[in-house]
Structure 1
């Protein structure tokens, strides 16, 4: 199986005059070393130019496999009178009598689709013309120009003239091969050990993996593969969160009160990840949309899905993409690449509708990019999006074949509020753990009546505030040994008092909330069955 680098070497072997290379900054040294090694083996010279140096250096890989830069005296930079003078290297390479591969950095920002300033537009057009001329003059000349950068944006009028190679995230075999060949580490792993390390580091580039291993080796013995895999996973999570502006979560352990119909679907989706399902050409849905008012548990439902399916969860605030401006599409592309490489993962877009509130061109481009990926992807990535206002979404997002399942996550009914209360109460009061329930049915009916139209987030707040109040009133500071702390016992009166002090969103913004619920009713499936608990409306014994 060919690696990502092999495809680049195929382009070089075919003597393409210009090749665009997209590679992250942390992989720069490895990529330069790989290109230079290829050139030396093919009997070619390798050179590099970038804007900061404005000089050409010859690249050589030494016998110790170190990358060395040598002086190259044939290129003499001109005096800079105009902006285009900074890119005279293109004209030099066009007429240079020698052969080889010239790597040019820092050029993609000047040849992307839209250049805002008039002065930038002029230099952009000059560079585009120079590249077209360079391709024409260096064809079959033994000279190749590699345009290198972290984000290879190319204007549509010249994109067809320049083949694009993108450095993909390494697969498990590439990671294993790099570990075996590494000179910095000496491993005594079995084949299974290597696979465990590779799976733990999936989603990182080789340079990042080596950096993490080097950091781990300072305090741990690399001989224990299971321990190293756990440490690698921990460092990977920290790195991915920082690099991609996401929250990466291994399958969490959460409890969800209610929403049984939706949870049954999640369990069905887990079976669709199995090899047997693949034999029947079955796959996980393209996407799931969770629709409903704020605070009803949509984000918590995504965590429950991750738990039920046993795969990691990537949580992303979709609205944040708008804040990235011109970088938004590049950020989304990198995120989708990461999800593809991780393969079996849930990609959760929170507040999906807010990214389309402005109805601007950027929102439409992002939606188109996501839809194209969802339509063409071959990985087992499950996309989940939470939505408050469906009317803000472009119509093409909600038609059949885009998001296969739409679930209405509604205000919890009496039975669900009872379950939610017990889940949160068990965090503070031991009496509620292991199925315990210290209160009578009459007491619960008082609580459930008072919290009608409260959502899960508001119930959580009520319980937490009641527990805090009881603690402050009953536990005297520094008078108990840590092993003999007094029990914290919630009371019905404390919960009702905290309820009186908040104004639920569904009451405060009743018109908006009802509008959200009605829109969801029109298109989405119910997440919960009819309330059949003893607290259901209608299950009240009026004759005692």
Structure 2
């Protein structure tokens, strides 16, 4: 969907539809399944409460019944709308209010920041009592908190929902609302996309705040640099990401003409027009080389030229893997087994270890067809046999990138009127130097290591990509049969 200027009614509908995501369905299903205690992990109380209300109102329209929504905080006590419900600021009194509510009344109770009181054994006991009681009633208790702090006694009683940050459509609707309310000039096309995307990763309030600050600081316009600067301040508080400010330019990099040309082609692929053409959003590059060769400088220049935040992630996967207790299915990948720590390979860490070899001829033909179709083209219009034959020794990723590269070349030459052809794909394949050639010895060593330590991920095929068929013979070595 294109990000464009929208009238109020359309923008509000987009925002409402954007909020009907998987998490909202999850909340609805938990309520209908009579989960009495639902712990929502989020710092966005207002947004979560609106989501709960939207779910309830949708059910009310469908089933023609009414559900009361009570809210509680230690500062306001229990309220029904704006109406106070007696002396209920104390958390114990608030929980007793829930226990004593009419059994036949449909209601939800939204408790804000109750986590601060979960070390109190009376609070914990009352919550357990509520959990037992509400399973037989049409009521649900929501605990909204930015911190996950569930005592062991409640671990089996509480369903946890991690509420996600706003998605692109929600940020776009916030952008529209700020623009309408301030009368600001709304940018269009790719400039608008950049402004909205710059606020991804922020809460709804944070996104609204950075848009408003940009308008104030610039005198009425949306400036990406101002938005990124404010986002940097917010990101630094996390302690997990490091935000780089850079004014480097591509002209500051000497040489590297092939890399810079490649990056130039990819820069235009962030537009909506490029996506409609079939181009994927660029995912990244791996730069390998000697220290001081310009790798870090190039990264900083790309961040500045593309007007995207440059972040460094801190953290250890192996530490998380060792300590995790949540029901997470991990799919890990590795290219060099020599650098894997022994604890990663111990028995029981994973259910199984698979070896993914280079694709066979039939697999390559299937891969080519998949990626051509994924770009909105008809595979039947291409010479799949020739393309799969000429891609011998290439990985699926290399074949995909050859097709993508052919798309970039065609778009660079002819724009949206360009036509992807077999010849274009074959030309890209010819320019591709596969890993099977540049890392021949390492791949052979990896295959040898996996023979006795891993299961093959593909069925064998008697052709160029699989084990070669051959005559079985006996050779006498030193007079002995071998």
When the two structures are superposed, what TM-score results if normalisation uses the length of structure 2? 0.48
